[in-house]
Amino acid sequence: MARNRKRKTTIGLTSAETMKNALNLLESGLSLRKVAERTGVPFATIFRYAKKQKENPLGTVRLTPKYNSRQIFTADQEKELEKYLLTLAKMCYGMNTVECRKLAYEMAIQNNMEAPESWSKNKQAGLEWFRGFRKRHPKLSIRTPEGCSLSRMTAFNKHNISVFFNNLEQVYSRFNMSDGSRVYNLDETSTTTVQNPKKIIAGKGVKQVTKCTSGERGHNVTTCCIINALGAALPPAMIFPRKNFKIHMTNGAPHGTLGLATSSGWMTSEIFPQVIDHFIKHTLSSQEKPTLLIMDNHESHISLAVIEKAKENGVTILTLPPHCSHRLQPLDVSVYASFKAHYNSAVDNWMLHHPGQPMTIYQVAECVGVAHDRSMTPSNIKSGFKRSGIFPFDRDVFNESDFMSSAVTDRPEDIQKPDEIPGSWNAPANDDNDHRKNQEPEQSPVKEPNEIQKVFISPEQFRGFPKAGQRKGRTKRKKGRSMIATDTPEKNIIEEKEQTKKKVCNKAVVKAKRKVLESSDEDEQDNISIYSENEDWCPEIDSNYFEDLERSPIIGDFVLVQFKIKDKHEKIVYFIGRVLKNKDENGDIQITFYRKHTKMIDKFILPIVPDLSMVPENDVKMILPPPVEQGKTKRQTALLSFSIGFNNIDVR
């Protein structure tokens, strides 16, 4: 079959309206030749259709050639199929070519249409039909989709977007920022030492083409960018995966870049206040010149220290709805795609000019400098703010089709219908389609000679659109939302959260410590008691002679704390600790605990991971004397010993 046949004649191109006009002129009394000259239709064609109309005065005469005699569906029916496929694509559940052919076969069965035998044999439409269908509907194209998580699909809905724009409008009206000069967006992106190679020139027909990279998996350096609604970009902040930052790490980066370091290379709540200081420094933000900073509500961004620093310097923080940054964050919308492309190109060039040398984190800043200058252009930045509706302010920037993906999880009714299966493609209820319930889809379509199709059953009617089922019962947790984080009510909520989190962490530490004590090895205890018997250089403590404290412990005191282990027999053990915070309103004291040295039994040392917990004052049995001086070096001063012995009690 010729798939791309070029037409060489104009036969059959006359429309039905032109032919009808020609026949009307012929009936009005004009001659056949004059009608042909006036309409441009060959006189033989007019004569043939006039003869057909004369022979069938009461019937309807087709005024165009029947070239689509082998076409299964009519133009209107194929239009319904096209509309259904486009809707599925907007809902992020688009069909591939095979599923589309199966759907066409199912549509033919549902409408009892005559189809080729190959369709019934393969249970799907033919490949040639699909190619013709694509040509007849140029709106359809085969695309490679980009993955979109279920969280992003469902979170981008009208309610969340409306809340964000309400907050944005409130900030604009409160501080008169409608000109965009004081509106900024902040976000981080990953810059690694292993690039995604661009296309290269290679031999035709080669099955595998490769390009050199620094390694299998690269080292991550986080780059935090800040842009302004008028098209300007501030110097970025770079977080390196190191314990300490060195100034040479930012060689080649844009002038004024802030260098930071964490063990993971990611942004944390401990270093983010320094990024806020960097932002305030370059924007000259103050109470007289307030600024708006739009960013996501990641836990590293929203902390009490950040909120207080922002409020003091006139920075209003507006957070984006969770999982909506791909449509609402200007950096994600129009800047970072260009930034990543230029960064990969810069890494490619570096590898090309340094053959045999792997790229390290110390060359990342140089490549970031190249990509930052080329991607942070005014046109890119302004486009991101405009497409997200932030500046110029446009709350109607997103239309109905943009929210179609969230319709999958819309649940207007809490009660599930008995005939609905959770997670199925639920077709709308229709009493006219009840006759299809007992119909077997495997049956080949058969059409009676004089049967006329009255009602066409579209794919939307017999298959419907994807719909999530009823939610399962589960523990409800508070959902994230867009908020003006610097407002006092939100600040109080954040402060309360941090206090609750600290209490939970302290309880978890105490629980884990008691678990370790309960599972301790008895042999280890025997060894400790043997060493303790040999210690007679200092006074001993007997647990029976603990007296009530003369005063409450204060910050800096070394104390002896009692813990009870629940085992077959209740056991009491003791820990040495130092007071970090005085007694609170609940009567609890925050203490950091020391551990007995494994080789030097009379010495105590802080563990690598600090062991902090809140301890009731009643569990503090003794305020110890100051530790004995051990030396002047850092290693010597890290070991503590006391002027009293702990032979008669179990100190861990």
Q: In this prediction, what percent of the chain has a pLDDT beyond 90?
A: 48
Angle at alpha carbon of residue 496, lines to 490 and 500, rounded to 5°: 145
Q: How far apart are CA 587 and CA 619, in angstroms?
A: 11
> What is the DSSP-derived secondary structure letter of residue 318?
E
- Distance CA(213)–CA(385), nearest Å, equals 35
Q: How confident is the model at residue 437, as a pLDDT?
A: 42
Q: What is the pLDDT of residue 355?
A: 92
pLDDT tens per residue across span 420-433: 444 556 655 444 44
User: Out of 381-385, 434-438, 455-459, 542-546, which region has the weakest mean confidence (pLDDT)?
Assistant: 434-438
Q: Judge whether residue 152 has pLDDT over 50.
A: yes
User: Which has more pLDDT, 389 or 564?
Assistant: 389
* Of 176-190, 444-458, 527-541, minimum mean pLDDT range: 527-541
Q: In the structure, what pLDDT confidence band is assigned to residue 581 with cuts at 50, 70 and 90?
A: confident
- Strands 604-605 and 595-596, by their bridges, are antiparallel
CA dihedral 39, 40, 45, 48 (to 10 degrees): 20
Backbone dihedral angles phi then psi of residue 477, each to the nearest 5 degrees: -120, 155
pLDDT band at 647 (very low <50, low <70, confident <90, very high): confident
pLDDT-wise least confident of 146-160, 306-320, 538-552, 587-601: 538-552
pLDDT in tens, 19-78: 989 988 988 988 999 999 999 898 899 899 889 888 887 767 888 887 766 788 998 999
- Note the pLDDT tens digit of each residue in 172-184: 999 888 789 999 9
Average pLDDT estimate for 389-396: 94
pLDDT score of 158: 93
Question: CA separation (Å) from 533 to 17, 521, 544, 640?
Answer: 114, 19, 18, 20
> And the tokens for 81?
């199929």
Respond yes or no on whether the N-terminal peptide bond of residue 489 is cis (omega within 30° of 0).
no
3-state DSSP assignment of residue 102: helix
Q: Please state the rounded mean pLDDT for residues 73-98.
A: 94
pLDDT higher than threshold 80 for residue 383: yes
What are the Cα distances from residue 576, in Å, to 28, 181, 520, 639? Answer: 116, 57, 18, 13
Provide the CB-side half-sphere exposure for 276 (13 A, CA): 30
Band (634; pLDDT cuts 50, 70, 90): confident
Which pLDDT band holds residue 414 (cuts at 50, 70, 90)?
A: very low
Pair of tokens at residue 262? 């964490």
Q: Does 602 or 519 have the greater pLDDT score?
A: 602
* 203: CB partners within 8 A, 6+ apart: none
Per-residue confidence at 467, pLDDT binned at 50, 70, 90? Answer: confident
pLDDT by residue (tens digit) across 219-251?
999 999 999 999 999 999 999 999 999 999 999
Residue 101 makes CB contacts below 8 A (sequence gap 6+) with: 124, 125, 126, 127, 129, 130
Q: How much is the pLDDT for 441?
A: 45
SS3 content of the chain, % helix, strand, coil (to 5): 40, 15, 50
Rounded CA-CA distance 504/283 in Å is: 38
Highest averaged pLDDT of the listed ranges 5-14, 391-400, 435-444, 563-572 = 391-400
What are phi and psi for residue 376, nearest 5 degrees? -80, 60
pLDDT recorded at residue 526: 41
Overall average pLDDT of the 274-302 stretch: 94
Residue whose tokens read 């009493």:
431
Q: Is the pTM value of this prediction over 0.85? A: no
pLDDT at residue 500, rounded to an integer:
80
pLDDT value of residue 517:
55
- Residue indicated by tokens 């309400």: 166
Going by pLDDT thresholds of 50, 70 and 90, the confidence category of residue 322 is very high
Phi, psi of 338 (to 5 degrees): -65, -40
Q: What is the pLDDT of residue 635?
A: 73
CA-to-CA dists, residue 434 to 77, 84, 221, 438, 590, angstroms: 21, 22, 61, 8, 71
In this structure, which amino acid lies at residue 268? T
Checking if the pLDDT of 639 tops 50, the result is yes
Q: Residue 534 belongs to what H/E stretch?
A: none
